[in-house]
Each structure stands twice: as structure tokens, then as C-alpha cells.
Structure 1
């Protein structure tokens, strides 16, 4: 049985069937055990987490046992042996499953493998696969519960760190054009995060937008001073100086080889970048939709690989369209607010296609 915490709480059988866990308190109990995976959570702690200091029940221990029984029954009904996963070990209970049974465990394993690798293409693919496991904020509906909040916050920090590391590898591969839009969105969400700022500055510089890269740095410096009384860290200061002197270390990598459709990476015909691993089902679904509909929109948290997935889909369908597939960067051209009217949007599309 598999458990999902990188988004809304989710339980699936080994065959992939969704398991219904009824009643909020039972789901809260499961979230508590998942947040403390590998640890025995004392019964007194679980009672406090589920009911707080309220006088909801005169028999708190019996009430907890009832919720544990409901959770065990839901797991057993879904898959034989499921009830054994909720083990009683004095002084409380533990969810007895391996780390690989949690999407958070698989995420951490993939990130660790990406960090230990040496080939940037393989590393980028592993980061892409890891970030694709995220379906929304960790523990979603229970993220504000005191018993879950520290774990949820820790997972979000791990996600953002992985996004920053993924961006650094993709910059090595010359994916600066794709990254500008993705990182701009993330910086807006996390304006004081220096790792994201640094990756965006580097991507902007490689895209030929040195002044925008410096503006990005100056905006962070102003925010840090006004909100925290701090200055950017040494690594970001060094990056700013490297941009000012056009340091060769920041030079754009050689672009990837053209695709079969004769395209190239970045604005213009969509071309190949790093291979996409673990997204075959998504690719098939999008290809099917594209052959049935005029418009398909991909949504999801920043940094999970929406742009890369769209690009891979375009590559796989290159032969189905006589004029090939093209990438029109909207965020790379000053932000989506610029395209409030149809005329500006049409001009950007025409400019990409080379139509006067």
C-alpha cells in the first residue's frame, strides 16, 4: 500500500486503486502517523492532537482506540493485511511501512540520487521525476495542524531546495529560456529566497537580459533591507559582480542538438533538452488531448516541470504537424500582465514565428 502526503492526503493499493479513508478524525489520525513516520506516537499525544483540550469525550483512550479501529478497517477492506500497518507499540501507535511506501520517501530518494550523480542530463531527469511527485502543498488539508505543521514545512523546504538544484543543472544544459518564466513565478511566491533569485539572475543573463538580472538582484537587496535589515549573501553578491563584468564563467552553454523536426531549444521551434523520465503516462494523456482539442493547459506548482513536459510533448508530436511545433515564451517577455489584450499576445506569437 502506498501513501501520499505531497499534496492532499492519499492512500492507494499496490494496484493503484484509491482507498477511501472516511471521517475527518480518522484522516487526521493517519496524517499524524504519516508526519511521524518511523516513530511511535504516544497515545496521549494522539489524543491531544485529535481533540485538544476539549471535553469532547469522557473516555479519550476508548475514543482513540475507536478511530484506530476505523483506520485499520479502511486499510484492511482495501487490501488484505492492511490493518497490520497500524501497529500498537507502547506507549502508542506507529505506521509500519517502509519509506518507499510514502511519496515523500520516494522524493527524497530521487533527490539523493540526483545529488550524487555526475551526468547533468541524468541528474536533471531525476530531479524532474522527484518534483513530479508533488500534487500540491504537503499534507494540504492538515498542513496547519500543530502535529503536522513542522513536517509539512520541512518538506516544503526540501522541495524548494530541489527546485533550486534542478534549475542549476538545467542551466548547465542550456535551458535558460524555459527557466526564466518558471523561476519568475517562483520568485514572486518566495521573494526573499536567494537560491531562486540566483538561478533567475543566471537564466536572465544567459537569455541576454543582463539589465533584468541586475534589477532582480537590486529588488532582493531592497526587500531584504526594508523587511529584515539584511543584505544579500556573499554568493549572490559574487554573482552580481560576475554579471557586471560579463564573466566568462556565466557564458551560455552550447545548445542541444536540433530535434528531428529541425527545431531548436528556446524561442522558435521547440527542440530537445534533457530526457524526460517517469512521465510516460502524462505524455500519452497530453498527446491524446492535443489530437482532440485545440487547447490543452498544464497546471501545477512552480518547478514541477510543466514547461519541460509541454516541450517533450511537442517533440513527440513533431511529425503530426506540417510546420513543426513552436515555443512562445510569454513570461520571458515581461510578464503575463503585458498580454491582457489580444493584440499584444498576437504580436508575441507572430514575432516568435517570424511573421511581420
Structure 2
């Protein structure tokens, strides 16, 4: 059985077919157990997550009902109690978020920019929408969802840097514009966009992007761009920026990951 949290909460059986988990509270219970890494999670914690201040008449009994319903959907041995709380049994590679992180590690260990970009693309293709999308307003998934979103953005930045090494400046410059607009204060992302614009022969746009970031940082945070970005700006200004070189680290051979059963969205290479 596989679980998807990189988008709406989804469960698949071993053949990749969706498994129905009926009821909003039952789905919330599953989301909570996944957000806590499978548990153990105390009954009090789960009751607060599911009902907050609007407690049912018999909270412990109501939780037991939801536990029973979740066991009915997933199998009785999938959810158990082990002091100090409830545990969701997860097989190796059972959660798409875990496979996402494993692929990121594999990509970062590869010195070949083409291979690195391809594995980052494979990892990003696991995303079907915002993490825990159908529980975005729930406090119990907020920390886990925010951590995953940060990992996703970092992966997008690292893939962009790999593509810069491959000389894909023109397409990358166009694709990064929308991402920079959504995350205008991320300096690493902005640096990739500036390098792509410059490499595509769009020096004035590269300089304008730096000015826009500098203004935003000053107005919103009261700080200047970091030293690395300032140095990049000087290189663009003096037309002395050299193309990024591939990392000299040796290539590591990793054991291939098993084929994923998570149904990915349309796999469009290099799409940001």
C-alpha cells in the first residue's frame, strides 16, 4: 500500500489502484498520522487535531470509531496502538514524500548535470499539487507541509543550476520568470534567473531583475542582497560572467530505486 501527500491525500494499493478512505474525519486522521511520520501519536493529540475546541460528547469513543473506520479502509494490521499512541505501519518507500527525498539525495550525489537534472525532474513529477492539499488549513499538517514545500523549491533551484551547466539559458530564463514572481525574495532562485537571462543575451533584463530584488529586500526586510548575489550582479554589469562549470566531484553509483507506483502527473521534462 502506498500513500500520497504531495497533493491531495491519496492511497493506492500494491497494484497502483486508488483505495477509498471515506469520511472527512477519517481522512484527517490518516493525514495526521502521516504528518507525524506514522506515529506513535497520543489519543489526546489526535482528538485535538480532529476536533479542536468543538469536541464530541465522548471524545475517546469518537476517536475509536474513526480508528475502526480507518482500519476498515486500510486493513486492521495497518493501524495499531503502541504506547504512547497510535501507529500507522508504513512499508519502505510507502509515502511519496519519502521517495521524493530519496530522489533528491540521489540527484545531489551525481556530478553529471544532465543526470542530475533528470533525477530532479523525476522527483518533482511526484507532486500533484500543494502538500496535504485537502488539509491545507489544518494546523496538524502545517509544519510537515511547509517543510516539503521548502524542499520542493530547493529542488527547483538545484535543477535550474544543473540546467545552467547544460547551457539551457533561453528556455530556463522564460520558465523561471513565473517561479520568481511567486517567490520574489529567494536569492538562490533569483541568481539562477539572472544567470539564465545573461546567458540568453538578455543583460538588461538580468540587471533589472537584480534591481527589483534589491528594492524588495530593502523595502520589505531592510537588508541588501547577499554577497554572492552582489558579486553576480557585478559580473553581469561588467559582462565578465563565465558560464557555470560542472562540479568536479566524482560520480557515485547508487542502487536504482524501485519503480514508483505513485501515478505522476504529465511528465514534462524541465518544466518549472
* Kept after mapping to 1: 8 A contact 2:118/2:269: no
Q: Distance in 1 between matches of 2:80 and 2:20?
A: 20
Q: Distance in 1 between matches of 2:228 and 2:78?
A: 46
* Equivalent position to 1:118, from 107, 111, 117: 111
Q: Counterparts in 2 of 1:1-356, with a 5 A limit?
A: 1-55=1-55, 57-76=56-75, 83-250=76-243, 306=268, 308=270
1:120 deviates by 1.3
Unpaired runs of 5+ residues, structure 1, are: 77-82, 254-277, 283-298, 310-356
Unpaired runs of 5+ residues, structure 2, are: 247-258
1:38 deviates by 4.1
What number of residue pairs does the alignment pair up? 256
1:198 deviates by 0.7
Q: Distance in 2 between matches of 1:231 and 1:24?
A: 46
Matched residue of 1:249: which SS?
A: coil
The TM-score, its normalising length taken from structure 2, stands at 0.89
* Kept after mapping to 2: 8 A contact 1:243/1:250: no
Q: Distance in 2 between matches of 1:117 and 1:64?
A: 46
1:251 deviates by 7.0
What's 2:249 paired with?
A: none
The TM-score, its normalising length taken from structure 1, stands at 0.68
* Kept after mapping to 2: 8 A contact 1:10/1:18: yes
Higher alpha-carbon Rg: 1
CA RMSD of aligned residues (A): 2.1
The structure whose RCO (Cα within 8 Å, separation 6+) is larger is 2
What per-residue deviation string (whole Å, max 9, x for no partner) do you get for residues 303-325 of structure 1? Answer: xx74647xxxxxxxxxxxxxxxx
1:144 deviates by 1.8
* Kept after mapping to 2: 8 A contact 1:37/1:94: no
1:245 deviates by 2.0
* Kept after mapping to 1: 8 A contact 2:217/2:223: yes
Q: Distance in 2 between matches of 1:307 and 1:102?
A: 23
Distance verdict in 2 for CA 1:110–1:92, change over 3 Å? same
1:91 deviates by 2.2
Q: Distance in 2 between matches of 1:2 and 1:252?
A: 39
